């Protein structure tokens, strides 16, 4: 009987400690909480002739990169919910736009377009981050974006 109780106790402790680490509210992808010390020192967003070729077949793909190039310090402070921090080692949403990843990932593209629109409206990176955490970017229609 003591063995059963001990096994149950160990099991409950294990479950309780695991729940602490698996809380989805604490599972925020990588981002920087403060603006970069030197924006010009950041690796640039792809631009110009880099926005051609097989990764840029649709107008929205070019548009999100053009917008991203205008707000690198904001993107630096935002997480990317496609989880490219785990898969690709990205450190923020800005990383997605420093290569071709945002052109092939609708999550990155929508988050970037959302960040640009909210920045134009005067939102702070913290406000944008909170909205992204609540999936507000999912309302972005990339096809419409490319036609504007």
Residue-wise pLDDT for 39-94, tens only, equals 889 999 999 999 999 999 999 999 999 999 999 999 999 999 888 888 888 899 99
4-25 average pLDDT score: 45
pLDDT tens, position by position, 15-48:
333 333 333 455 889 899 999 999 889 999 999 9
CA distances from 71 to 8, 39, 76, 94 (A): 53, 10, 9, 9
**DSSP structure class, residue 63:** H
Beta strands in the chain (DSSP E): none
Predicted pLDDT of residue 5: 53
pTM assigned to the model: 0.80
């Amino acid at each position: 009987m003591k063995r059963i109780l001990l096994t149950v106790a160990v099991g409950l402790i294990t479950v309780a400690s695991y729940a602490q680490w698996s809380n989805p509210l604490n599972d925020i992808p990588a981002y920087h909480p403060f603006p970069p010390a030197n924006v010009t020192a950041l690796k640039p967003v792809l631009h110009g002739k880099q926005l051609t070729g097989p990764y840029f077949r649709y107008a929205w793909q070019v548009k999100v990169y053009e917008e991203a190039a205008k707000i690198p310090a904001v993107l630096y402070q935002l997480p990317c919910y496609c989880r490219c921090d785990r898969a690709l080692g990205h450190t923020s949403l800005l990383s997605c736009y420093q290569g071709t990843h945002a052109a092939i990932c609708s999550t990155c593209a929508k988050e970037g377009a959302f960040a640009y629109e909210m920045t134009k409206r005067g939102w702070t990176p913290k406000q944008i981050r909170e909205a992204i955490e609540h999936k507000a970017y999912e309302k972005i229609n990339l096809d419409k974006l490319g036609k504007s």
